[in-house]
Amino acid sequence: MTSYKLALIPGDGIGVDVTDAAMAVLGVAARRFGFALATQTFPWSCDYYLKTGAMMPADGIETLRGFDAIYLGAVGWPDTVPDSVSLHGLLLPIRKAFDQYANIRPHRLLAGVEGPLKASAFDILCIRENTEGEYSGAGGRVHQGKANEVAVETSVFTRVGVERILRFGFEQAQARRKHLTSVTKSNAQKYSMVFWDEVTRALAAEYPDVTVSHMHIDAMAAKMVMNPQELDVVVASNLFGDILTDLGAAIQGGLGFAASANICPDRSGPSMFEPVHGSAPDIAGKNIANPIAAIWSAAQMLEHLGEADAAAAVLDAIEAATGKGIGTRQGQNTTDEITAAICAALES
C-alpha cells in the first residue's frame, strides 16, 4: 500500500476547523482507493508566535522538507499579530524555500451553487506566479516616523521566473481548452510588464496549438464579471494573480469555495495546499465555517500525489453534496454537516 507523509499546519482560527474536515474526507478517500496517509501536525500559528516570537521554529523548513506534501488551514490573527508578520513568517517562506512558484486556483460554479453573475458556465484556471514579482520583499523604509519618511517596495521579475510560470500556464492550457490569457499592465508599467509581454510572445511560438490573449489587469477584472465564460487559463504576476483570484472566488460563490495549490513543479520539494480564505477569527470554533474550499484543496493535493481517481471522486462527492443544496449558502449547514454529506457521497 502506498503511504504519503503529510505535514498538517492547521494554523489559526477556522484553519483548525477546515483542516479537520479535509482530513476526515481524505481518510474516507484513502480507505476507498487503497492508500495510506501518515500525518504530522505542527502548531505553527499566531498563537505559536506569541509564545515563541516566531511563526515557526528556525529549523521549520528543513522539518517540512521530508514530507510528500504540506496542508495549510489558514494563517492570521490580526488583533494579536500583524498580518505582515504572520504572512512573512510562515506562508511566504514556505512558498519560496520549496520553489512553489505555481499557484493554481480553479474558479467554477459547483452544482447547486448560485454565483452573483448572470453567467454560470465558466471554468477558469488562474495561474499566479508565486515566488517573486511584487511580493519579492525587496525594499525598505528610511526616516521612519518622521515627516520625510520614505518607503520603497521594489518588484523583481527575472527571466527564469517569468518564463517558467508562463510555460506552466501554456502546458495547463494545452491540457484544457487551449486558450491562455496573459495579464499585465504594460501600458503603465513599461519595464516589468513590457518584459512579461515580450516573454509571453516569445514562448507562444513554441505552443502553436494554444491561442494567446493579452489583457491589462483592469480590463481583465471587468471581463471576469462581464464575460467569464470566455476565459480558460489565466496567467498573472504575484500581485495581479492574488487580486484576480479573490474576484474569481467571488464569482464562484464566495471564499468558502475557493481552493488553491502552491506547486513545486519539478518536485524538488513538497508542494503546499490551502483554501484561499483567511482565518476568520470571529467564527473560529463555532462549527459554521464552510469546509468546501479546504476539501477541494485536499483533492488538488491528491491529484498532485498521483491519486487522480481519488481526487476526482472527492470533487464528485463535493458536487453531490452541493447538488442537494448542502453547503451552498453561508450559515445554512454546519461544518460537520457539510463534511458528513461529502464523506457519505464519497463512500457510496
For the annotated catalytic residues, the residue numbers are 135, 185, 218, 242, 246
Place of cell 517558467: 164
Burial class (CB in 10 A: 0-12, 13-18, 19+), 8: buried
Which grid cell sits at 307? 491519486
For 183, the 3-state DSSP assignment is strand
Please state the separation of Cα 32 from the chain's center in Å. Answer: 26
Cα separation, 234 vs 228, whole angstroms:
11
Which grid cell sits at 260? 488553491
Q: Tell me the β-bridge partners of 263.
A: 102
Say if CB 18 and CB 286 are below 8 A apart.
no
Round to the nearest angstrom and report the end-to-end CA distance of the chain.
Answer: 22
Burial class (CB in 10 A: 0-12, 13-18, 19+), 224: buried
